[in-house]
Structure 1
């Protein structure tokens, strides 16, 4: 059977899995994700699985990549500068708050043209104005987004505008009708703008990945995981990078379902930065009907319904004072674990921690280091620029870097802007201290815990008597917070969306196992599938708190990379049928409209068209062969005692396994 290579780029690690279709996982490896150049981490992980397996790289028949690139770029406000060509809309439409925020000052061209709700042309496309304006804008842009009024019914103006833009500028162009068949022009324009902004980023990643694979002797076709868990050919993904939003979590959900053989479950993937929870129904992750919400923008992109909490193995650990009580606070921000920082900067970490352990009084900056993360592309205030410049030579102990409260605030602002990151004590360090993890520097973790345990509580006493007590408290805090989050996700799925329900006094009593005159209990009805490198460490206890079976399948630590190769190609195509006047049924297709006088003939034509479009797009997306199903949804109204056809939506779904080489 074929050998398949799955790759996932996560916030902390890049995972690779070599998968045999007949025998399962052959080899697996992790490499630290290299955020400045993701292809380096990809090369490290892939090189490791090749070395483990000793296979001929030419024997690999397919490579599939899941990536956080699109998600991270949107969250961090990265991407190119694009121009929106808005056909048939007026200035007020361009002022819609979400669209205006997504544009962020990028230019808008209001061009005459567009169609009405029945697909009739409202005005001819103003091609002359468009050609003249884009020549002036092109030198300052990386691409264009084109959205026409009711272009989902008749895309001809968007298509004509795309040809003009390509001819006059040579820049990439995204058309709204290619991303969604749903109405709501401004929302489609927002999705289109975000997609156009990401194109050059995903192109660069795919090119770099293909280059690294070529160096390693791998020439197999490359697929990319979409946000709904399906696969698409890399060449197609380049034009629709926004569809890779939630690519990583989607791959985890698919991989978790495959490995655990659990058709209905809560899949909980604990990473370094976040915990992602996805509901599985009949072996597939549930799709968010409202569209993917990312970076504060609600898009028209199909993606898994995912809930994310800023809680992971690398969550920053802080001490909070509440009156006379002191509590541990985890996250939501990620920190570099001390045990990991010590791998590359052992002299700095050990020397600093030993110096601080000799101090008479603890300091809030003890046990913390600062690292430069990304170069700034914008001019910074003087104090922030000065603090950032001090990090150019490498990580610095925070108590040596920071001289006063103003500088500390400046450092926090740099961290918030992802220009710097802190290294400090984390749950990963606690796990190393207790011998639960052994990948990094256990001695650095032990020193960090001893230092933190000496911090003073609200009563002026050491927070923990021993480092081991502190480590167990950290793990218990992570376990409890994770159980609360699982419970919150399950309650929301059942329709109970009131904030804080999982921390209500009764819910807390249930998690504590209270049993007095009243026995209080809460339990899940489906198993919890725990994924991630640390899942085996935590999820037995986490699932136990919520009264659910815990499934931590073999290879749970690389389930995302497994999901990248076991998924399939899934493509949907929609054709709408309206009745503009009684007795005329208008079918709207990508190639134009057709009026038919018989409803049965109109629906049959719509079904044939939708089926052909879905199958063609599935093959283009990389499917070897496809199976297609068609669903018809009709809306009717009753007037004067008789039923009247209003509209119909014909949806064809084509699915198949990806083509492989050899």
Structure 2
């Protein structure tokens, strides 16, 4: 049987698995994700798994990659600055709350053009204005997003705008019609905008992966996991990075179901940045037809119905002093654990923590460090440029780097743009203090916990007596928050969408196992499958709180890499049949725009076109032989006692296993 290599690049670790369909997992390995140079982490994991297996790299027939990088960037509000080209829309459309929030100040070009609801041109595309504005804005942008009115029915103007933008600026361009076949221009614009923001992130990952694979002698095709668990070629993923939103979680769901061998389960994967939960029914995760919801934004990209929150082993530990009481909070921002930073910068970390512990009073930036992640792009403000220059390409103590509120704001923007990363106390550090983990520098973790414990609460007293007490409170908070999140996900699956139900007094009392007159009981009806490197540490306690059987399967720590190689290739296509005037049936989609006088003939062409488009899309995505199914939905209306045809939608889906190399 051919050997398959699965790779997952997460926020903290890069995992690699060698898989044989006859023997299962042949070997597995982990390496730290190296954000400044992703090739190092990918190469380290692949080299380790090859060394453990003794396999000849030339025998690997397929490489498949899953990643949480796009998901993490969305959760943390990161990404490049993008120009939205809005064709045929007006200023009010750009003011839709979700789109306006997603833009966050990025420029919008309102360009004349667009089509009507039957695919006919409303007015010519204003190429002169588009060219002039694009050239003016290009130096401050990382790419463009293009969305035209009714472009899903006729993408002519989006395609023309894309070619002009590429020719005039050389920047990547994301078109809305390539990402979704559904109507609602502003929502499609939001999807295209987010896609454009992520292109440079995924491009860096794929380029790094291909570079290292080639250096190691692996010439197999490279695939990437989409958010619905399907695989696509690396070349296609490069242009549609938003389809990799939930790539890592989707691979985990597929891998978790495969490893657990259970038909019904709640699968929860705790990573460095996020915790992701998916419900399995009859062995299959549900696909969310409304599109992926991430970072507060609902996209139009199909994805497995995953619920995600910013809670993981590398979540920032902080104190919430907004009210009369002081509360310990985790995330959603990811920081590098102090224990991990000390592995590379031991002298700096220990000297800084010792200096801060000798101070009489705690300070805001105690236990905080800053590391650069990459070369600065154009368009930075003067404070941002100056701060990066002072950072000098190495880790530094935050209290020696930042000396004013202005610099604090500049640092926050650099973190948001993924140019630097902060280091501080995390649950991973707390686990090292308590002896639950031992991979990194536990002494640095303890010093960081002791510094954090000295912080003043609302009463003016130290928040905790000792670093060990503080660490236990961090771990308890992670377990509790994880249990609440799992419970909220299960309740939402049953139709109770209120995200706060897990904190209702009755739910709190049920999880606390009260001994009062009323016996409260709350439990899950399916096992809780824990995945991730730290699942065995936390999930037995999490399962106990929600009264569920706990299952942490073998290879749980690399389930996402397993899921990356056991999935298939899927593609879909949609063709519309409309009636612009009575008795004329117009077929639109899959490159067609043809009129018929007979509905049956129009439907037959639509079915043939949708099946052909889906099959071609699956083959472009990397499938070998494909199977295609199609369904027709016809909408009719009653008027004046007779039935009138409104529209028909022909949906086709093609599926197959990925093409593999010779092995």
Same fold at TM > 0.5: yes
Q: CA deviation at 1:443?
A: 3.0
d(CA) in 2 for partners of 1:621 and 1:138? Answer: 33
Give the 3-state SS of the residue equivalent to 2:48 in structure 1. helix
Q: CA deviation at 1:446?
A: 3.7
d(CA) in 1 for partners of 2:125 and 2:610? Answer: 31
Q: Structure 1 unaligned runs (5+)?
A: none
d(CA) in 1 for partners of 2:427 and 2:302? Answer: 34
Q: CA deviation at 1:559?
A: 1.3
d(CA) in 1 for partners of 2:238 and 2:414? Answer: 32
The answer on whether the counterparts of 1:453 and 1:467 sit within 8 Å (CA) in structure 2 is yes
Q: CA deviation at 1:282?
A: 3.4
1:498 alignment partner in structure 2 = 498
1:629 alignment partner in structure 2 = 629
The answer on whether the counterparts of 1:27 and 1:52 sit within 8 Å (CA) in structure 2 is yes
> Which deviates further from its counterpart, 473-482 or 217-226?
473-482
The answer on whether the counterparts of 1:316 and 1:335 sit within 8 Å (CA) in structure 2 is yes
Task: Evaluate the alpha carbon distance shift between residue 484 and residue 596 of structure 1 in structure 2; reply closer, same or farther with a 3 A threshold.
Answer: same
The answer on whether the counterparts of 2:11 and 2:69 sit within 8 Å (CA) in structure 1 is no
The answer on whether the counterparts of 1:370 and 1:391 sit within 8 Å (CA) in structure 2 is no
d(CA) in 2 for partners of 1:129 and 1:416? Answer: 34
2:220 alignment partner in structure 1 = 220
1:205 alignment partner in structure 2 = 205
Q: Structure 2 unaligned runs (5+)?
A: none
Q: CA deviation at 1:657?
A: 0.9
2:423 alignment partner in structure 1 = 423
Q: CA deviation at 1:540?
A: 0.9
d(CA) in 2 for partners of 1:169 and 1:335? Answer: 35
Q: CA deviation at 1:9?
A: 1.4
Q: CA deviation at 1:288?
A: 2.9
1:262 alignment partner in structure 2 = 262
| RMSD value, Cα | 3.5
Q: CA deviation at 1:541?
A: 1.0
Q: After the TM superposition, which residues 47-446 of structure 1 pair with which residues of structure 2 at under 5 Å, given as runs?
A: 47-72=47-72, 76-79=77-80, 81-82=82-83, 84=85, 86=87, 88-90=88-90, 92-94=92-94, 96=96, 98-99=98-99, 104-106=105-107, 108=109, 110-112=111-113, 114-123=114-123, 125-126=124-125, 129=128, 133=132, 140=139, 145-159=145-159, 162=162, 172-319=172-319, 327-354=327-354, 361=360, 363-364=362-363, 368-374=367-373, 377=377, 379-380=380-381, 391-392=391-392, 394-397=394-397, 420-446=420-446
d(CA) in 2 for partners of 1:353 and 1:107? Answer: 46
Give the 3-state SS of the residue equivalent to 2:513 in structure 1. coil
d(CA) in 2 for partners of 1:150 and 1:189? Answer: 12
d(CA) in 2 for partners of 1:346 and 1:53? Answer: 33
Q: Deviations over 1:142-174 (max 9, x none)?
A: 655443332322334444555566677766554
2:11 alignment partner in structure 1 = 11
Q: CA deviation at 1:565?
A: 1.4
Q: CA deviation at 1:328?
A: 3.4
d(CA) in 1 for partners of 2:365 and 2:90? Answer: 57
Q: CA deviation at 1:645?
A: 3.0
Q: CA deviation at 1:275?
A: 1.4
Task: Evaluate the alpha carbon distance shift between residue 223 and residue 410 of structure 1 in structure 2; reply closer, same or farther with a 3 A threshold.
Answer: closer
Q: After the TM superposition, which residues 521-600 of structure 1 pair with which residues of structure 2 at under 5 Å, given as runs?
A: 521-600=521-600
Give the 3-state SS of the residue equivalent to 1:181 in structure 2. coil
Task: Evaluate the alpha carbon distance shift between residue 4 and residue 643 of structure 1 in structure 2; reply closer, same or farther with a 3 A threshold.
Answer: same
Give the 3-state SS of the residue equivalent to 1:580 in structure 2. coil
Give the 3-state SS of the residue equivalent to 2:263 in structure 1. coil
Task: Evaluate the alpha carbon distance shift between residue 376 and residue 433 of structure 1 in structure 2; reply closer, same or farther with a 3 A threshold.
Answer: same
Task: Evaluate the alpha carbon distance shift between residue 352 and residue 168 of structure 1 in structure 2; reply closer, same or farther with a 3 A threshold.
Answer: closer
Give the aligned length: 657
Task: Evaluate the alpha carbon distance shift between residue 548 and residue 152 of structure 1 in structure 2; reply closer, same or farther with a 3 A threshold.
Answer: same
Task: Evaluate the alpha carbon distance shift between residue 80 and residue 364 of structure 1 in structure 2; reply closer, same or farther with a 3 A threshold.
Answer: closer
d(CA) in 2 for partners of 1:595 and 1:399? Answer: 69
Give the 3-state SS of the residue equivalent to 2:303 in structure 1. coil
d(CA) in 2 for partners of 1:61 and 1:438? Answer: 36
Q: CA deviation at 1:368?
A: 0.5
Task: Evaluate the alpha carbon distance shift between residue 458 and residue 90 of structure 1 in structure 2; reply closer, same or farther with a 3 A threshold.
Answer: closer
The answer on whether the counterparts of 2:255 and 2:561 sit within 8 Å (CA) in structure 1 is yes
Task: Evaluate the alpha carbon distance shift between residue 661 and residue 358 of structure 1 in structure 2; reply closer, same or farther with a 3 A threshold.
Answer: same
Q: CA deviation at 1:484?
A: 1.1
Q: Deviations over 1:112-162 (max 9, x none)?
A: 4x4322233434x45874796589569647655443332322334444555
Q: CA deviation at 1:190?
A: 3.4
The answer to whether 1:32 aligns with 2:32 is yes
Task: Evaluate the alpha carbon distance shift between residue 250 and residue 145 of structure 1 in structure 2; reply closer, same or farther with a 3 A threshold.
Answer: same
d(CA) in 2 for partners of 1:387 and 1:364? Answer: 21
1:486 alignment partner in structure 2 = 486
The answer on whether the counterparts of 2:11 and 2:72 sit within 8 Å (CA) in structure 1 is no
Task: Evaluate the alpha carbon distance shift between residue 185 and residue 416 of structure 1 in structure 2; reply closer, same or farther with a 3 A threshold.
Answer: closer
Task: Evaluate the alpha carbon distance shift between residue 552 and residue 323 of structure 1 in structure 2; reply closer, same or farther with a 3 A threshold.
Answer: same
The answer on whether the counterparts of 1:370 and 1:420 sit within 8 Å (CA) in structure 2 is no
d(CA) in 2 for partners of 1:405 and 1:596? Answer: 67
